[in-house]
Amino acid sequence: MTEKPRILVTRRWPDAVERVLAAQFDASFNASDVAMDAAALAGALRSFDAVLPTVSDRLPASLFEGGDIRTRILGNFGVGYNHIDIAAAGHYGVTVTNTPGVLTDCTADIAMALLLSVARRTGEGEREVRAGQWTGWRPTHMIGTKVTGKTLGIVGFGRIGKAMAKRCHFGFDMDVVFYNRSRIDPAEAAWCGARQLETVEDVLAAADFVSLHCPGGGENRHLINPQRLAVMKPEAYLINTARGDVVDETALIHALETGIIRGAGLDVFEVEPNVPGRLRALQNVVLLPHLGSATEETRTAMGMKVVENITAFFEGREPPDRVA
């Protein structure tokens, strides 16, 4: 292309990345940093050579319908891409890329933070102190659950699942069991003390803490449902840093309210940024606003991954992180 490709960045990105995009492309930025609605996104697909969406940008098939699509590539800012209708994008000749690898450690760190916070009731404790309600130390005050030596169950043993296993096994001497759709070499799992079990149910029944690290959408929607929550130990905790739709949120709320499980730590939700009032009212759940990759280093690395992908595409090379 003789002219710079025209690109749209749908949300504010780290300054260092925006500067590179502005220098290399005819870039438009969402200065207000407010999520674009469906009409604006549909218009963008017909006005820009590339659209760079995030998880907060829903791109269903309806946005592509009617044709006249100018966009040739969606450079997704994030690993997960279940917010994009991949089939529709492919039908209209739109390439889709993501940003794997660079957010592994930070997402595993947040999963570990949620596990510790819900087990040791740190969110409850901080709220009590801030409200001026703490009356002093006493032996029965805010008793939590010991983490060291417990069993961690992982659903999805990819990069982030393995990083979580490493933290829990070496940092907290935890036994690790996991479910993964494909078989993992036992030697690859054994280095971090992990064993693969045959079914999701096997993992749920064995674990004191269950951490979800599988993709969202498709057959994983409501993977954790009423039946599977009932398989968990009543003293167990559920941690979700994957995608909100992996968990049936209504079923989880019921399980937390009635003692089917003891607690949960959530960084993602079914319909973000909407979090049900019943969930917000519970004390036995730690709620974070999708902070998994939220470090300066990681968000910048994610943005530079997008730069690499769209640069390769417009130079006629295969994007390194193409998913469709």
Cβ within 8 Å of residue 155, ≥6 positions away: 161, 178, 179, 200, 203, 210, 211, 212, 213, 214, 223
111: nearest Cα among 264, 224, 232: 264
Cα(268)–Cα(224) distance, integer angstroms: 14
Per-position b or e across 292-319, b if 16+ CB within 10 A of its CB: bbeeeebbbbbbbbbbbbbbbbbeeeeb
Among candidate residues 46, 290, 308, 322, the one labeled active-site is 290
Distance between the two ends of the chain, CA-based, in angstroms? 22
Q: Which parts of 69-164 are beta strand (E)?
A: 73-75, 95-97, 151-155
Is residue 124 annotated as a catalytic residue, yes or no? no
The DSSP 8-state label assigned to residue 242 in this structure reads S
Structure tokens belonging to residue 99? 């940003």
Among candidate residues 243, 249, 262, 270, the one labeled active-site is 243
Bridge partners, 27 (sequence order) = 7
Is residue 280 annotated as a catalytic residue, yes or no? no
Q: Read off φ and ψ for residue 179, nearest 5 degrees.
A: -115, 135
Among candidate residues 124, 128, 201, 272, the one labeled active-site is 272
Q: Is 129 exposed, middle or buried (0-12, 13-18, 19+ CB in 10 A)?
A: exposed
73, 96 in Cβ contact below 8 A?
Answer: yes
Q: How many CB atoms lie within 10 A of CB 80?
A: 17
Bridge partners, 29 (sequence order) = 9
Cα–Cα distance list, 298 to 36, 260, 301 (Å): 24, 36, 5
Is residue 3 annotated as a catalytic residue, yes or no? no
Per-position b or e across 160-199, b if 16+ CB within 10 A of its CB: bbbbbbbbbbeebebbbbbbbeeebeeeebeebbbebbee
Q: Which residues are catalytic?
A: 243, 272, 290
